[in-house]
Chains A and B, each alone.
Chain A
Amino acid sequence: MIEHQPQTTSGIPLKLLYGPEDVPDGIREALSTVPGQAPYLRGAYPRMYRDRAWRIFQLSGYGNPEDMNERLKFLLFEAGETGIIIKHDRMTDDHLYDVDHPEIVERREDVGLTGTVTVGLRDYETILSDLPLESIYAKPGGGVPQSAVYTLPSYWSVAARRGIPLEKLAGTGQSDFFLTYLGCPTKEQIPPEAAIRFNLDLIEWCSERMPRWVPVSVAGYNAADSGLSAHQELGAVMANAVQYLDMIAERGRVDVERLAHRIGGVNFRVSMEVFEDAAKLRAARKMWSDLLGQRYGITSEKARQMRIHVVTAGSAMTYQEPFNNIVRGTLMALFSVLGGTQSLGVSGYDEAMSIPSDHAHLMSIRIQQILQNEINLREVADPLGGSYYIESLTGELEQRGWDFFEQIQSRGGFLAVLDDGFLLECAEENNQRIASGMESGERAVVGVNTHTIDDPIMEVEAFEGRSGAQTWEMAMERLSDLRRTRHRRGAMDALHHLEDVCRNESVNAIPAFMEAVMADASIGEIGDVLRETFGDWQAPISV
């Protein structure tokens, strides 16, 4: 009888036992380094979590700005989160639509369900009221590039109005291409070329004025949870970085070495394939360091240091028996830390049915606090280092990751493979395989396709927010109030100026976005300028 060959989700064969011969030479060499030293296989910082615990950094947001503000205060001041993330309503924010846009009106009950809804800068004042912006680390939103140039300037403007110098603000943007052009293509979106321009504007702006701000963050998470396997996620993240760095070099306004560090805050997914994904984080740091050193000749060790944020796989969270997801979240969180992450968000146990309830949020934070306080996890750096199995996986992922990177480069680079559908095809192929595995039972998920019960116990309800379907009506009132009470001429002037700047690539557009939000331009008016100027990108969906 032929024994079934076990393998990881991404297809790496698994042996019964690993030994010294399974550790590749390159990894063996890197193992002799210490954390905080290139190639960072063993960790980003010399003393790792002894100096600073990883940041508890949970995605949060729903309803109206008051709801958002209340949730943020709960997470930060009561539950003990150590950074804030503002999640915006996907319909209005990702698309930059006003709430009275026809696409929104017919789906009005959905508004506020996937994040908080804003109509303009005044709503950011509400979201951020009573929050000490000078001392908190924030991700104000802006997953997609066209939203980032509205969201980040809005957050910064609230701080500026409070008299806080921008250089004091600490936080991160995202403007992620995997989310925008692979994982969750929106109905209307500016093309990748325009998005790249805004991202470069953000990188330059922050590098000049905001030393504590990560301007953009490549989010491998969105590649992986859309279907790319572990090594494909690695290769695609590196290709994305090369795209930024090459274009920055081409622009010639800011030194590449100076910028490399600024884009070194990268987001990865850790799924239930925990050993492989912990190895992936270790491989990622080494690949990043090698890429910057070998391809760009960057010698500064700091510039070659990747800092990682992990989000545990939303797709691992089951709709059935949602409390089982607390166990899954704990495992994924543990291995994220074993892989050396700098910050972590644990998906809510109700992820498969809604945005997190306050209780689900609290549990995600408690999981992390238990790991930080109760099991000596912070004391020893790189506890997996030297395991034959882990080092074999790390080396294998590195090799396969570079192979995938080369495949992308040979097809014309990162933007080309988003546009021609190659990444989408890779993701789809993997998703079909995973779905078939679920169907046949080869891939077991407890409570879903194995160990199921006939009459499932309803453990929780989906969280639908405080104002429910009224959220939209309340936002409509704020929008009409904004239009009625603002200095109309000032807003129109700022929007015209924004359009001029958008059409002129030699100008950094960020100041014009700041002026537009400060002049009370609405989110939809800013979106109209972008649509008018750049047109719409067509997703190469081939399903």
Chain B
Amino acid sequence: MSDHSQPPARVLVAKSSLDGHWRGVAVVSRALREAGFEVILGGMLRPSEIASVAAAEDVDLVGINVGGRVEVVERALDEMESAGVGDIPVFVGGTVPPQAIPRLTGRGVEVFPPGSSLGAIVDSARRLTGRNIPTGGLS
């Protein structure tokens, strides 16, 4: 249930790779904002920076754009645990190798490869944060 006295859920959106393709990040960030989330754009962050920014910004959800190997995302998850923010839910999108998806879902990460619907991504953000859930058509 949405609670209008609550501030919007905060989502950190970052790229784990050093590959500058921004198109997917832009489209997803816009969809999250339109659904009432507050999006903090991290840009290209190292795994340790993803953890430190997530902690410093006190976010409710971390979204990682993957343009490389899954090991780098796993390192970000490890760093988040070390930084004491391992309980913040994580979802990822981008060119995740299909054979590597189980490694991420096995750690509770939701994965949205290219072609995923924005509706499904927003639903996932709502489910993972328990916030911004529309009631009677309003969010």
Contact = CB atoms under 8 A, between A and B. Distances in A.
Interface of A: 90-91, 94-95, 102-104, 106-107, 109-110, 113-114, 183-187, 226-227, 315, 318-320, 352-354, 427-428, 431-432, 435, 438-439, 445, 448-449, 458, 461-462, 464, 469, 541, 543
A315 B99 CA distance: 21
Contacts of B17: 91, 107, 110
A537 to B, nearest CB: 12
B106 interface: no
A183 B21 contact: yes
B20 A186 contact: yes
Interface stretch (B53-61, B82-90, B109-117): B109-117
A437 B17 CA distance: 28
Contacts of A184: 19-22
Contact of A107 (B18, B23, B43, B113): B18
Contacts of A95: 18
Contacts of B16: 107
A63 to B, nearest CB: 13
Nearest to A226: B23
A353 B69 contact: no
B18 A319 contact: no
Contacts of A104: 18
A462 B99 contact: yes
Given A114-B68, A469-B69, A106 B97 contact: no
A103 B18 contact: yes
Contacts of B25: 543
B18 A91 contact: yes
B95 to A, nearest CB: 6
A109 B68 contact: yes
Q: Give me the 8 closest cross-chain CB pairs, A-B, nearest first.
A: A462-B97, A110-B68, A184-B20, A109-B71, A543-B26, A91-B18, A106-B46, A319-B114
Given A184-B21, A462-B95, A464-B69, 18 more contacts: A90-B20, A107-B18, A107-B47, A183-B20, A187-B20, A227-B23, A352-B113, A353-B95, A353-B96, A428-B26, A431-B26, A435-B118, A438-B117, A439-B117, A439-B118, A462-B99, A464-B97, A541-B41
Contacts of A94: 18, 20
A354 B95 contact: yes
A113 B94 CA distance: 14
Nearest to B119: A439
Interface string B2-27: 00000000000000111111110111
Contact of A109 (B31, B69, B95): B69
A541 B43 CA distance: 9
A276 to B, nearest CB: 20
A352 B23 CA distance: 13
B128 interface: no
Contacts of A449: 115, 117
B18 A431 contact: no
B29 interface: yes
Contacts of A428: 26, 30
B113 A319 contact: yes
B114 A352 contact: yes
A331 to B, nearest CB: 19
Q: Tell which of B20, B26, B46, B119 has the most Cβ of chain A within 10 Å.
A: B20
A543 B29 contact: yes
B98 A353 contact: yes
Q: Tell which of A91, A352, A543 has the most Cβ of chain B within 10 Å.
A: A543
A360 to B, nearest CB: 14
B68 A432 contact: no
B97 A91 contact: no
A109 B72 contact: yes
17 contacts: A90-B18, A90-B19, A94-B18, A104-B18, A107-B47, A113-B69, A114-B67, A114-B68, A184-B20, A352-B113, A431-B26, A431-B27, A449-B115, A461-B98, A462-B98, A462-B99, A541-B41
Contacts of B21: 183-184
A462 B114 CA distance: 13
A110 B72 contact: yes
Nearest to B75: A106
Contacts of A113: 68-69
Contacts of B117: 438-439, 449
A184 B22 CA distance: 7
A91 B30 CA distance: 27
A352 B115 contact: yes
A438 B28 CA distance: 13
A318 B97 CA distance: 13
B70 to A, nearest CB: 8
Nearest to A449: B117
